[in-house]
Amino acid sequence: MINVGIVGGTGYTGVELLRLLAQHPQVNVKAITSRSETGVKVCDMYPNLRGHYDTLAFSEPDAKALGAMDAVFFATPHGVAHALAGELLANGTRVIDLSADFRLRDADEWSRWYDQPHGAPELLEEAVYGLPEMHREKIKTARLIAVPGCYPTAVQLGYLPLLEAGLIDPNQLIADCKSGVTGAGRGAKVASLLAEASESMKAYGAGGHRHLPEIRQGLGDMQPNPVGLTFVPHLTPMIRGIHATLYSTLTAEPEDLQALFEQRYANEPFVDVMPAGSHPETRSVKGNNTCRIAVHRPGNGNTVVVLSVIDNLVKGASGQAIQNLNLMFGFDEHMGLNAPALMP
Ligand SMILES: NC(=O)c1ccc[n+]([C@@H]2O[C@H](COP(=O)([O-])OP(=O)(O)OC[C@H]3O[C@@H](n4cnc5c(N)ncnc54)[C@H](OP(=O)(O)O)[C@@H]3O)[C@@H](O)[C@H]2O)c1
């Protein structure tokens, strides 16, 4: 049994960590922070957690208390983990950061995209990018994990088999992605209001979104050539879910694309390659840590279309964070992540 802390427990990824960890047989959530809700009991704010965390209450983030934990999750805006991670690591506490603070290896590039200096460049070298399908062995011994973003997870898992096999042109990739509204967090914003977001759909960040350099870096690690990626995210009127439609151009004649995907992910517990001809739905992964994928070659032409769906709060954030924790502490990778998706 290990003790864990969560910094940022009132946000959507924080409460999703609580929901999933309630079923984890080896984890005791000992500390949970919120500056705005200090003293409030977790189950008073989130009644779905009644019966699971009856005494746990939000507290101010305190490095000493967090440093007594075996592991701490940061479910906070960027910049917060920069400030605290070094002290926690020095105390022997492992850090799993759901924000973008340690995802980019280049501190200058991070500063350009996030409009502020990098707060902990000295930790970048040891940070491990927590995409288990790419970095499982490194994750097992890591002290500091950068959990991938939601769009980056759906896009990278969709392109991975094709890029590793050298079958497509890495310089001509197009990722057309849709997200549910929880992707923007729980803070009040006009764009997230019911009357603004429902019954409508819009693209955003077409000229350059913060997830672009992260996805480019990840796709670059899968093969040796420069990556050219057009990434256009869209806001859609659903609560959870990411749908990525991924286009690429074949440079070699593949033997069997379906078999390629099935073989690459045969031993991956959280990637489900659907039967040929399928169109995965975001609702099929709601509340669940699976990335569901289908591969198509329309008209047997030059273009491959991969459809990849995840729940942004689970495989796109808190579920993947727990998958990393399981690997780091030698637990079964499924622990806390076994429940099937909600349907309908
Ligand atoms: N939402 C998604 O689908 C998703 C997916 C992947 C990754 N992420 C990333 O995960 C992180 C959390 O996202 P979210 O959607 O859960 O955010 P959120 O709903 O906005 O919640 C943010 C949480 O952080 C706390 N917080 C804010 N500023 C803080 C500070 N300076 N120090 C300590 N705590 C602070 C807030 O509580 P108090 O202000 O009360 O302290 C709140 O509990 C973000 O970096 C986000 O980019 C989100």
Q: Which tokens in the block code for residue 171? A: 């310089």
Give the containing element (helix H, strand E) for 259.
Answer: helix 257-264
Asked if residue 268 belongs to a domain, the reply is yes
Residues of the chain under the 50 pLDDT cut = none
Same domain, residue pair 103 and 177: no
Same domain, residue pair 18 and 102: yes
Yes or no: say if 6 and 34 are a contact pair by the CB < 8 Å rule.
no
Q: How does 37-47 read in b/e, with b if 16+ C-beta sit within 10 Å? A: beeebbbeebe
pLDDT given at position 336: 97
- The C-alpha angle with vertex 222 and arms to 217 and 223, in degrees rounded to 5, equals 105
Neighbouring-strand partners of residue 29: 4
CA of 73 to the centre of ligand 1 (A): 11
Asked if residue 274 belongs to a domain, the reply is yes
Same domain, residue pair 93 and 158: no
pLDDT given at position 66: 97
pLDDT given at position 292: 98
Pocket flag, ligand 1, residue 181 (CB < 6 Å): no
Yes or no: say if 5 and 66 are a contact pair by the CB < 8 Å rule.
yes
When divided into structural domains, the chain yields a total of 2
State pLDDT tens for residues 161-213.
Answer: 999 999 999 999 999 999 999 999 999 899 899 999 999 999 999 999 999 99
CA of 161 to the centre of ligand 1 (A): 32
- Can you give the pTM of this predicted structure? 0.97
Q: Just list the catalytic residues.
A: 150
Asked if residue 340 belongs to a domain, the reply is no
Which residue's alpha carbon is at the smallest distance from atom 19 of ligand 1?
11
CA of 8 to the centre of ligand 1 (A): 6
Pocket flag, ligand 1, residue 99 (CB < 6 Å): yes
Same domain, residue pair 28 and 118: yes
Which 3 state secondary structure label does DSSP give 191?
Answer: helix
Yes or no: say if 168 and 301 are a contact pair by the CB < 8 Å rule.
no
Which residue's alpha carbon is at the smallest distance from atom 2 of ligand 1?
183
Same domain, residue pair 177 and 276: yes
Same domain, residue pair 176 and 121: no
Task: Please report, for the domain that includes residue 289, its CATH number.
Answer: 3.30.360.10
C-alpha to C-alpha distance for 169 and 182, rounded to whole angstroms:
33
Ligand 1 atom closest to Cα of residue 100: 45
pLDDT given at position 139: 98
pLDDT given at position 152: 98
Pocket flag, ligand 1, residue 59 (CB < 6 Å): no
Q: How far is CA 170 from CA 173, 249, 255, in A?
A: 6, 8, 19
Pocket flag, ligand 1, residue 34 (CB < 6 Å): yes
State pLDDT tens for residues 95-120.
Answer: 999 999 999 999 999 999 999 999 99
Which 3 state secondary structure label does DSSP give 57?
Answer: strand
CA of 113 to the centre of ligand 1 (A): 18
Range of the domain at 73: 2-126
CA atoms in the 13 A half-sphere facing the CB of 115: 2
First to last CA, the chain: 35
Q: Radius of gyration over alpha carbons of the chain, in Å? A: 20
C-alpha to C-alpha distance for 97 and 10, rounded to whole angstroms:
16
